[in-house]
Structure 1
Amino acid sequence: MSRTAIHDLADGMTLAQPFQAADKQLRVNRQGGKYILLKLSDRSGTIVGMMWNADETTFDTFDRGDYIHCTGRTQVHNGSLQVILTEIQRMDPAEVDQSDFDRFDANQADNNFTRLRELLATISQPALHALAQSYLNDDSFVQSFRQAAAAVSNHHAYPGGLLEHTVNMMELVRLISPRYAKVDTDLLLMGAFLHDLGKIDELRASGEISYTDRGQLVGHIVIGVQRLGEKIAETEASTGQKFSTGLRHQLEHLIVSHHGVLEYGSPKIPVTLEAVALHHIDNLDAKLASYSSIIDSDIAADGNWTNYTPSIGRKLWKGDS
């Protein structure tokens, strides 16, 4: 079935094609009428869908994650492209081409994981090197890490995104750390590896990315510290040597402080040079990925600037058209 990818949609296009229902809500407008608000997705991204004058009968015919055949037309509203739907029909998964919706790039994940191993191999501190091997020797962890997303939205919000984000940060560590003599490169590199591993269990990467029950109840920072404790115990068992309590505390601090400020979910603010560096490296990679996504998906008529984006409080320069 021929279809137009979301990132190729433009204003005023008539559509009759499959999407995946990433999210759905039945809402009531000011006049008391009901409408369906949808987040439609495919491999290339997501777009808002609206079906006016809807009711529970249509709303209940499909669930989140289902494939749905949508008939409607694209239009720009408040600077963003959306789809106004006139008909929605649930589809059997066998009716769609899965390659249109699978966002996991196995080849890219292979390349990223090869580079991850190379970067971890540069760690010379024996205890940290052994700890890294405990993670890499865990086949279940490796498989989950390869496919995990870094977020539900904002940055690296796709299968394989967490691995990409992690490798990006580790590459930045190798560039930045040698310029600061008091920064422990091995410790910072390990912190970049560990900082978001709790997202493997916080987020569900299969199908539409969403929070797991554990993710909602506990969160990736606590999960990451718990996983670290398990891996330290495994490292002690495999090496027959006690893992330094002080080093463990340093690693835990890197995980719990990497959001930088309490308001952003960090239980502690960074108080070591490595923690300060980790926070800013994390923020740099996340912001550049997020802003690049805004530029790539923008549909502003002004070729040099994006539309104003409320979440970041600005327009972004796209370059000379």
Structure 2
Amino acid sequence: MTRKTILSLNDGDSVEEVYLAQEKQLRANRNGNNYLQVELRDKSGVITARQWNAGEPQYKSFENGDFLHVRGKVQLFQGTLQMILNGFDKVPIAQVDLGEFLPRTQQDIVKLLEKVRGYLRQMANPHLRALAEAFFMDESLMAAYCQAPAGIRHHHAYLGGLVEHVANLLDAWDRLAPLYPFVDRDLLFMGLFLHDIGKVREMVCDKALSYSDEGQLIGHIVQGVEILNEKIPVATQLAGEPLNPELLMRLRHMILSHHGTYEFGSPRVPMTLEAVALHHLDNLDAKINAYYKELEEAGKDAVWTPYNNLLGRKLYKGGKSPVEGSDGEV
């Protein structure tokens, strides 16, 4: 029997299916009556589900991260699909195919990593080449690098999202570098490779994409600098001499400043050309991925997406393009 994925749901559908439960809440409506609200997920997307007249027994019957066999109906409310639950039961994890619930990049992860390594091997700077090799010698770290998402909710929020994001950035910089010969090409390649390396420790990917305790308390920016520092002794041995301290300081600064502003979590703002370039390349790829995902998840007949709190706006998907509606004339 074909699985009813979140993405395939339409207004009016009756649903009896297993989904991953997250972000459960017991809320009160305007009349003071309690209802249960929970996000239901699979690898295709997420939908908000509500059970009216629910109380503590329903709320306490499962935890975030549990799998629920739900029974309900999909309805359109204020332009967004929601599911109204008639009932649900907890499903043992042994009965669940986890591959149905963890989204994954559609690209070949092995080829993405090969592309990343290929760019880093082009670097002329021997200290940066040695540093890159120190990372690739750590097989468990690179396996985690290939598995990690680049985000939980916003951009590249799927298994393999980090290496896909980095491969995109290296592709972009490879094309742009001839326009900016005054920017250190090798240093920016290495900074792009390392800027989100801390996410291999910040995030965990078991039943769902989530943050580790260390990730919540420390965060990937500081964790990234820690991982860089751990690899310097190995890189020094490979180089046969101490690594250039100025180079290392600039790399640390690029990791620390890549979010761009204090209010977005960077302990420093970008203060070198390479750090400025990294921040804007990173932001470009992240935003395009997040916006494209939002457009993809809108209904196939939707002209606008629902309002997205993370993006702070709706997005216009549109109907026919002017070319399609012009009887062949442009």
Match of 1:48 in 2: 48
The aligned counterpart of 2:311 is 312
Amino acid paired to 2:314: K
Cα distance change of structure 1 residues 137 and 158 upon mapping to structure 2, 3 Å threshold: same
Task: Check if 1:38 corresponds to 2:60.
Answer: no
Partners of 1:300 and 1:306 within 8 A in 2: no
Aligned residue for 2:89, secondary structure, equals strand
Q: After TM superposition, give the deviation of residue 300 of structure 1 in Å.
A: 8.0
- Which residue of structure 1 lines up, in the alignment, with residue 61 of structure 2? 61
Inter-CA distance 20–310: structure 2 relative to 1 (3 Å threshold): closer
TM-score (norm 1): 0.94
Question: 2:78 — aligned with what?
Answer: 78
> Is the Cα–Cα contact under 8 Å of residues 170 and 189 in structure 2 kept in the other structure?
yes
Alignment partner of 1:247: what SS?
A: helix
Q: Is the 8 A contact 2:101 2:208 kept in 1?
A: no
Give distance in 1, aligned partners of 2:86 and 2:208: 24
TM, length-normalised to structure 2: 0.91
Kindly indicate whether the alpha-carbon contact (under 8 Å) linking 1:81 and 1:299 is maintained by their aligned counterparts in 2: no
State the identity %. Answer: 41
In structure 2, the partner of 1:269 is 269
What's the counterpart of residue 325 of structure 2? Answer: none
Greater displacement, 23-32 / 223-232? 23-32
Equivalent residue for 1:197? 197
The C-alpha deviation readout for 1:38-60, integer Å capped at 9, x for no partner, is 11111111111111211222222
State the shift of 1:29 in Å. Answer: 3.1
User: Would the aligned equivalents of 1:79 and 1:299 in 2 still touch at CA under 8 Å?
Assistant: no
Q: Check conservation: 2:70, 2:89, Cα contact below 8 A.
A: yes
1:62-86 per-position Cα deviation (integer Å, ceiling 9, x unaligned): 2222211000011122222111111
Out of 11-20 and 99-108, give the one that drifted further: 99-108
Q: 1:91-118: per-residue Cα shift (whole Å, max 9, x none)?
A: 1234334442242459721121121111
Write the distance in 2 (CA, Å) between the matches of 1:196 and 1:296.
25
* Matches of 1:13 and 1:313, distance apart in 2: 29
Work out the number of aligned pairs and report it: 320
Query: 1:242 aligns to what?
Result: 242
- 1:120-172 CA distance string (max 9 Å, x none): 11111100001001111101101111111111101011111111111111111
1:206 deviation in Å? 2.1
- Unaligned 5+ segments in structure 2 are 321-330
Q: For residue 90 of structure 1, what is the amino acid of its counterpart? A: K
Moved more, 129-138 or 207-216: 207-216
Structure 1's unaligned 5+ residue stretches are none
- The residue number in structure 1 matching 2:232 is 232
Q: Which amino acid aligns with 1:189?
A: F
**How big is the shift at 1:23?**
2.9
CA shift, 1:263, in A, is 1.1
Distance across 1 between alignment mates of 2:238 and 2:273: 31
The root-mean-square deviation of aligned C-alpha atoms, in Å, is 1.9
Q: What is the CA–CA distance in structure 1 between the aligned matches of 2:179 and 2:218, rounded to whole Å?
A: 37
